[in-house]
Structure 1
Amino acid sequence: MQSELTSWNHGSTRNAIVDFVTRVEAEGLPLAERVAVFDNDGTLWTEKPMQIQLQFIFALWAGMVTADPSLATQQPFKAVVDKDFGWLSAAVDKHYGGDDTDMKVLMAGVVRASAGREVEAYAAQAKAFLDGGTHPVLGLPYAQCVFAPMLDLLAYLAAHGFTSYIASGGERDFMRPAAGQWYGIPSERIIGSSLGLKYADGELTYTSEMGFFDDGPEKPVRIWSRIGRKPLLVAGNSDGDLPMLEFARDDALRLLVHHDDADREFSYDTGSEQALKAAADKGWTVVSVRDDWATVFPAATS
């Protein structure tokens, strides 16, 4: 396992991480207290032009429109017919701006696409999509759309006794097939949004309702419910991660990924304005994709 931050440029941000881990070890903090929590979309893997899970849902919606063409005139299915990635991305941006009108429509479509599916069949379909799909803009396999520096950071933390969790607005069961394979984080440490579930006749299936949406103030609730500790290290990239960043321990390292590299990934501040201001006001560590990451995406493996 790689335990050095080789994908990070030398500088103040990398030094902040190394100094933090050095302090934790020097103070002899118990391993049980070495809890790190990461957002996923935009923090561990790329989230533009729309989140990877939405690209998966997009494919499911396309199948639904084929089966029932009447859906083509209503959102979010109309976005599939029009190949309108922008509508989906804008719905997420509007959510971070406080307008959930389109997000409610989007989430209703997500629930509708999953209702009645058996959980393991859904997981297998998600895994097949992630293993075989290609990013529509970057042209990379999804396995290479994770951020190499964050993989290095996860490995570095593990080598120093940290236990890492994911707390994401992304759907928990969609992330699980990739988390173990790509991040080395097992299923039981994935805290994400949840579709409703019901058990009957030996099968666990998704219902036609949302369980909960793990974003904003819901993140600290779910972190505490699952872990029972405040994080010692927390990393996010958006306003939806702000409550999670605030919830960390007083002595925590808070990392906020700033997407400012249009050449190697994407450049955008929309949906992270409040978090960036909080980071500046409170002295949190802002990670510049442009300046702090020597490499953005991992090299292909044979």
Structure 2
Amino acid sequence: MLESWNDGPAKSAIVDFISRAVDDVPAVERVAVFDNDGTLWCEKPAYIQLDFLVRRLAEQARADPELADRQPYRAAAAGDLGWFGDAVTRHYNGDDSELKYLAGGILSAFAGLTVEEHADRVKAFFATVEHPTLRRPYTACGYPPMIELLRYLEDNGFTTYIASGGGRDFMRPVTEALYGIPPERVIGSSVGLDFSDGDLRTTSRPEFLDDGPVKPVRIWGRTGRRPILAAGNSNGDIEMLEFARGLRLLVLHDDPHREFAYTAGAEKALARADSDGWIVVSMRNDWTRVFA
């Protein structure tokens, strides 16, 4: 039970809450939701999906030199992952000046593919690409303590969901193998889909950016339940944590030796954890290991 967790306040709060939930909450109401990037797997030095997208944007820039003169294609062609990470961090701090360019490139990157073709590209990416600094496959960048928590919850009658700002159709091909969470329990950002000639195809139309106040809306739309446990790590998870009626967990990246140490994009969430009594999970102090 939670073998990769050190004994301490965070582990005790989790165990006590789950024990009480088993006694007091009907199984159908034991719903737990988890952010993905930075909560279930590593999100630095750039989001894993950004690596996937940057490779596609660079490919498009090589095929069309005119694209290379504007963002996000210019950054992709130059391998400037910092620009992408900065755009997302700015977004979490309320500045979307760069996000509009990033969103435009992301929305059009894979337009016209069938959903199966897109899933095949995702699987090929995960089968071949390593984390740029940790030098381990991306499939080995999940956090064992959090995966153990998923299993512990399920063993106690909870239904677990991912509710992420990441792309729904980027996560779905790998979440079952990585976390034991099947595609139907993955909630994420998405582009519009069109059905024609027997196939679903991706478009460049935005559908949902599953972040901030949209997360509770999408969780309710998918589950019809208010979660009794939520776990996140950033300002984009605040509303999801507010929506949960029970235990709120905030993962703190404070281990520069085994992973990374940063609070950028999580300052507001940490302040809320302090004022509202959310449980802060310290990677450095609460986990015996960060990676398998």
TM over 0.5: yes
Q: How do 1:47-58 residues align onto structure 2 when only pairs under 5 Å count?
A: 47-58=43-54
> Aligned residue for 1:9?
6
> Aligned residue for 2:132?
136
- The code of the aligned residue for 2:91 comes to H
**Distance in 1 of aligned mates of 2:156 and 2:248:** 17
**Distance in 2 of aligned mates of 1:131 and 1:158:** 28
**Distance in 1 of aligned mates of 2:183 and 2:140:** 20
RMSD: 0.8
State the SS of the aligned residue for 1:259. Answer: strand
Q: How do 1:108-257 residues align onto structure 2 when only pairs under 5 Å count?
A: 108-249=104-245, 252-257=246-251
> Aligned residue for 1:259?
253
Q: Shift in Å at residue 54 of structure 1? A: 0.5
Q: Deviations over 1:43-102 (max 9, x none)?
A: 000101110001000111121112112211111011112211110000000001111111
Q: Shift in Å at residue 204 of structure 1? A: 0.7
> Aligned residue for 1:293?
287
Is structure 2 residue 15 aligned with structure 1 residue 21?
Answer: no
Q: Shift in Å at residue 111 of structure 1? A: 1.0
TM-score (norm 1): 0.95
**Distance in 1 of aligned mates of 2:253 and 2:141:** 14
**Distance in 1 of aligned mates of 2:207 and 2:22:** 39
State the SS of the aligned residue for 1:166. Answer: strand
State the SS of the aligned residue for 1:170. Answer: strand
- The code of the aligned residue for 1:85 comes to L
Is structure 2 residue 269 aligned with structure 1 residue 272?
Answer: no
**Distance in 1 of aligned mates of 2:128 and 2:158:** 31
**Distance in 1 of aligned mates of 2:226 and 2:244:** 5
**Distance in 1 of aligned mates of 2:6 and 2:105:** 41
Q: Shift in Å at residue 26 of structure 1? A: 2.5
**Distance in 2 of aligned mates of 1:24 and 1:60:** 45
Deviation >6 Å, runs of 4+: none
> Aligned residue for 1:80?
76
Contact 2:57 2:77 in 1 (8 A): no
**Distance in 2 of aligned mates of 1:96 and 1:241:** 10
Identity between Structure 1 and Structure 2 (%) = 55
TM-score (norm 2): 0.98
Q: Shift in Å at residue 104 of structure 1? A: 1.2
Contact 2:216 2:243 in 1 (8 A): yes
Q: Select between 115-124 and 66-75 the one with higher mean Cα deviation.
A: 66-75
State the SS of the aligned residue for 2:177. Answer: helix
Q: Shift in Å at residue 131 of structure 1? A: 2.3
**Distance in 2 of aligned mates of 1:137 and 1:106:** 23
- The code of the aligned residue for 2:3 comes to T
State the SS of the aligned residue for 1:109. Answer: helix
**Distance in 2 of aligned mates of 1:210 and 1:124:** 21
**Distance in 2 of aligned mates of 1:41 and 1:145:** 11
